[in-house]
Structure 1
């Protein structure tokens, strides 16, 4: 069946989640902690995701901004940086302005030129997502930004993937779903989407009941896979 709709995870897929820590470390006067930014970014992202899974399991939903702050607080404490409130506020501010990966604008433009629907489906809260999309200048290249806040549970719950068909009137087989998270791509494959895992770090495939349909190192080939 022909692909009509291309759906993208946001954080780590379109937007570089390590950018906040990297940019903060590059600012003047940050030499005392700058060497720690890769570990800080990795810890922050890991805890952010873990908290979404745990909250989904326990039914204690909150918005993504809360788990983003909670994950950062854990990461700062682990790196012995929790006594630096100015750094915390700077990192949180930068998270609203994450950089898009370099290939993103051209890739999305190719999909739009081919007449395909394009949208984000993310754990992010609407305000966070709109901030990132606006900062990256992607508004004209996306038909919609779908957030889990409309169903009150994080991915990979099936209710989240249901949002795509509800919005675009398509079947799962008509959707190409793209995520940098292996577990998300697997969950979407199990749902019935055609999937791409953007595996920038060359990690092993997760041992889950479903597997990504394609594995790429970046987003450059997405228009080809979508038939654009």
Structure 2
């Protein structure tokens, strides 16, 4: 069976840990902690905005989360330094398994999309810089709906954009909340467990499939 597959971007297709290198240059030995808090807060801010129906695109969430982290760690970066740091998100590299995995999935006849909370132009630039874009059929952003995952509307939108139904549309993400959101909306969902130490939320909703990377996903779907 051929699927229409939406892939989460940050943490699934590209490696956000690379931001640590840029943070170290500006922040020093607190870079790892700072980077994790920054990631957690920007996701939290997106969740808040969706629930409050006070939408601003993910760039705003990223900027405001950075401001929060600077206050927490009592650090000061100039406006130019902050913009240069945020711009590095467009230069993240693909995980080693991503391009070979997407190639295999595409050869098998599956329809492939990057599906992100980020604005389409930003995501498309990132996908081009990471060499992923040629292996995609679509770049789809929740920005079109002015809300965020895991709002069920965005997963329904993914299906409409890919002209697929619940039986043929699949969400692939390294984020358990994204997998749970997609399953709750009726899609099939795959959790990419990129670290053996990662745990899935102990909810009544569980992934249809757990894989370690996209090459394994391609092997399973070849079935």
Q: TM-score, normalised by structure 1?
A: 0.90
8 Å CA contact 1:120, 1:142 repeated in 2: yes
Contiguous gaps of at least 5 residues in structure 1: none
1:57 matches 2:51: yes
Farther-moved stretch of structure 1 (126-135 vs 217-226): 217-226
Q: State the alpha-carbon separation in 2 of the partners of residues 20 and 36 from structure 1.
A: 13
**How far off is 1:83 after superposition?**
4.2
> Equivalent of 2:212, from 194, 199, 217?
217
8 Å CA contact 1:124, 1:148 repeated in 2: yes
For 1:44-83, what aligned pairs fall within 5 Å after superposition?
Answer: 44-83=38-77
Farther-moved stretch of structure 1 (105-114 vs 83-92): 83-92
Contiguous gaps of at least 5 residues in structure 2: none
Aligned partner of 2:8 in structure 1 is 9
**How far off is 1:86 after superposition?**
4.8
8 Å CA contact 1:3, 1:175 repeated in 2: no
Aligned partner of 1:37 in structure 2 is 31
Farther-moved stretch of structure 1 (2-11 vs 82-91): 82-91
Question: RMSD across aligned C-alpha pairs, in angstroms?
Answer: 1.8
8 Å CA contact 2:116, 2:140 repeated in 1: yes
**How far off is 1:75 after superposition?**
1.8
Q: State the alpha-carbon separation in 2 of the partners of residues 220 and 53 from structure 1.
A: 31
Q: State the alpha-carbon separation in 2 of the partners of residues 176 and 163 from structure 1.
A: 13
Aligned partner of 1:96 in structure 2 is 90
Aligned residue pairs, count: 222
8 Å CA contact 1:125, 1:149 repeated in 2: yes
1:173 matches 2:167: yes
Aligned partner of 2:125 in structure 1 is 131
Q: State the alpha-carbon separation in 2 of the partners of residues 220 and 73 from structure 1.
A: 38
Q: State the alpha-carbon separation in 2 of the partners of residues 37 and 6 from structure 1.
A: 34
1:159 matches 2:158: no
> CA 1:197–1:156 in 2, change beyond 3 Å: closer, same or farther?
same
Q: State the alpha-carbon separation in 2 of the partners of residues 41 and 96 from structure 1.
A: 16
Q: State the alpha-carbon separation in 1 of the partners of residues 2 and 109 from structure 2.
A: 11
Aligned partner of 1:19 in structure 2 is 18
For 1:176-195, what aligned pairs fall within 5 Å after superposition?
Answer: 176-195=170-189
**How far off is 1:217 after superposition?**
3.0
8 Å CA contact 2:23, 2:35 repeated in 1: no
Q: State the alpha-carbon separation in 2 of the partners of residues 54 and 67 from structure 1.
A: 10
